[in-house]
Amino acid sequence: MAGQARAIADAWSPPGAPESWWLTAATFAAIAEEEPLLDLAAAIPADRLPPLLLAAAVRFLALGSELDRHYPRPGGVQPPRDPGFGAELAAFARPRRAELAEVCSGHRYQMNEVGRCADVLPVLAAIAAEAGRPLALVDLGTGAGLGLSPDRYRYTYTDPDGARRETGDPGAPVRIECTVRSGVPPVPPQVPVVAARVGVDVEPLDVADPHVLAWLAACVPPEVGAVTRFAAAAALARSEPVRKVRGDLLDVLPAVVASLPADALVCLVDTYVHVFLPPQDLRRFDALVDEIGRERDVEWVSVDPLVPLGPEARATVQGLDVPNAWVRENREGGVSGVIGRVSIRDGVRTGTVLGRAHLGAAWLEWL
């Protein structure tokens, strides 16, 4: 359990990460090191993502408490690093073991990171430029549907030389900032036209429900950028709801695709969903994409860590090759999301790995 918590701290906040990630790293370090937290995490079944679920439960109960002063507010600043945070977190958890266990057993860890639209946008832009027709977006494992509106956000990409490239609606309330560490992602002057959009999830989340919203907010890493863009995206999702279909993506996808306009290019997008599918379901999904591709052109954009999750990972969920260095870095704890594109045009399938990204979309590397 301690190893898992440390791996999460390293993945979110590796050496050299911006200072604003200190609280996220310190939370998972405390779960790895402090006795009451480690015990609580160890009691959670592995498939419920114990360290992540516990971190969310702590954040949920900390609202309004003395501990709350360490957490950033939307649009605010990141409270300064406090070396005593881990011990304070343990002292907070000790008398609240039962409450924390109850929150954990009554919730699932649910993360909907709108910043991942910065990973997907350059791929959609390239697809739209080639296709010359509007896109029909299907966000698989959509959660609250925050990934369904990439055309409603404002993006700033900061290139390795410090130049800033901006795109999207200048007046958008949701602002996504991403540092490009290498390569040149094709940031479009205008975001692609989305003619239709639908999300699919086994458990779609309605952010108009205050309890759902509060829990989802507790699952956001306590980093000021993440907290700010989540609040803005959730507010937009409340005022402009998008269509969401409840169901297992393997079951509902054919009907969802059949409901999309015939003249639009179907783009299936999955961010941090397929990595959690068992191998047989990944194979079924792959076959389903081929089946759809026999009927109409289709694109599958994926942003997922290498599989199987953990040190043995070496393949992408799309079965594409990645640079050896990525496999090595993943083994050493540097988990990131591989950005890949599978296209079926006129029945012919191609696949390309395009880059990789920070789990919370803080940075991007383009091949």
Binding site for ligand SAM (CB under 6 A): 110-113, 116, 141, 143, 147, 200-203, 248-249, 271-273, 276
Shortest distance in whole angstroms from residue 112 CB to ligand SAM: 4
Q: In 3-state terms, what secondary structure has residue 210? A: helix
- The sheet with strand 194-201 has its strands ordered as 164-168, 154-158, 175-182, 363-366, 348-357, 337-345, 298-304, 265-271, 135-140, 194-201, 244-246
| Closer residue to ligand SAM, CB minimum distance, 10 or 113 | 113
| Closer residue to ligand SAM, CB minimum distance, 38 or 275 | 275
| Closer residue to ligand SAM, CB minimum distance, 201 or 297 | 201
DSSP letter assigned to residue 145: T
| Closer residue to ligand SAM, CB minimum distance, 5 or 216 | 216
Q: In 3-state terms, what secondary structure has residue 75? A: coil
| Closer residue to ligand SAM, CB minimum distance, 27 or 302 | 302
DSSP letter assigned to residue 54: H
Which residue has the CB atom at the shortest distance from ligand SAM?
A: 141
Shortest distance in whole angstroms from residue 252 CB to ligand SAM: 8
336 - beta bridge partners? none
Shortest distance in whole angstroms from residue 185 CB to ligand SAM: 18
Shortest distance in whole angstroms from residue 96 CB to ligand SAM: 26
Shortest distance in whole angstroms from residue 303 CB to ligand SAM: 7
DSSP 88-140: HHHHHHGGGHHHHHHHHHH-------GGGHHHHHHHHHHHHHHH-S-EEEEEE
| Closer residue to ligand SAM, CB minimum distance, 36 or 51 | 51
At position 67, the amino acid (one-letter code) is L
Lookup result for tokens 């990460």:
17
Shortest distance in whole angstroms from residue 114 CB to ligand SAM: 7
